[in-house]
Structure 1
Amino acid sequence: MARRIMYLQLKTGFDTDRGPSWIAWVRFSPTWKTAYVHDRTLRRWPGMFDANFFDVDTGEEFWLSGPKRDRTDGRYSRAAPAVDDDARGPYEAFLRGEPLPGRDRG
């Protein structure tokens, strides 16, 4: 299973880019259609308005993407995401210019 540090934001129940967000390790299925993070199973689903994954148990919608070095992860908000403790070291190295683990070429 692929494992990546990702930016994720809860979209359900919040105005545009106002939901809580995190930098966290996310595991992906071999097809990249299912993501596992924070004890949740998220499924990719095309056609959602402001999200690209939904929680299979709760139906809550999430936006997942790779983090950006300039920290502009939220499209309309500059609120800083919470960084999971186990992702902090690799994420801070990424912000200093190192590649993310598993993405040595970009």
Structure 2
Amino acid sequence: MKSRIMYIESKAGGLTGPARIGRVSFSKTGATLYYAGKSFQSLKGSGFKSNYFEVESGDEYWISGPRKDGQDSLYPTNVAPVVDADVHDEYWTKIRGQPRPPLREASE
């Protein structure tokens, strides 16, 4: 399965929600994304400020490639996403092009 580091933000609670940077896997056809034991499928443009939904719960998410400047959220927020431990070094050095900060643990 192909995988990529992506920005994943829950839209279940409104326009902004908890966000993470993590490794997402893709199905063979690319129609389904997998992250943290959940499956996501595209809303194909029909979502309100979201582009994917979680298959089991129907909750909506904004999932996109991370940006070099760190402005990944759809709407400006002062809450930084949690970066998963398994992608922490790669995200900071290869994507952001910065020295890696200490690992921040999730509060979830």
**TM-score of the aligned structures, taking structure 1 as reference length:** 0.83
How far apart in 2 are the matches of 1:40 and 1:77?
26
Number of aligned residues = 95
Query: Please, which of 24, 30, 51 is the counterpart of residue 26 of structure 1?
Result: 24
* 1:39-78 superposed matches below 5 A: 39-46=37-44, 47-78=46-77
CA RMSD of aligned residues (A): 1.3
Q: Secondary structure at the match of 1:88?
A: helix
Percent identity (aligned): 37
Q: Once the 2 structures are TM-superposed, how far is the Cα of residue 38 of structure 1 from its aligned partner?
A: 1.0
Structure 2 residue ranges without an equivalent (≥5): 99-108
Structure 1 residue ranges without an equivalent (≥5): 98-106
How far apart in 2 are the matches of 1:61 and 1:75?
13
Deviations along 1:24-79, whole A, 9 cap, x unmatched?
00001122210000110111121111111111110101111000010111122232
Where relative contact order (Cα < 8 A, 6+ residues apart) is larger, the structure is 1
How far apart in 1 are the matches of 2:19 and 2:59?
14
Farther-moved stretch of structure 1 (54-63 vs 73-82): 73-82
Residue number in structure 1 paired with 2:86 = 86
How far apart in 2 are the matches of 1:76 and 1:42?
21
Q: Give the 4+ runs in structure 1 shifted more than 4 A.
A: none
How far apart in 2 are the matches of 1:92 and 1:54?
27
How far apart in 2 are the matches of 1:32 and 1:39?
17
Farther-moved stretch of structure 1 (56-65 vs 69-78): 69-78
Amino acid at match of 1:37: Y
How far apart in 2 are the matches of 1:83 and 1:32?
23
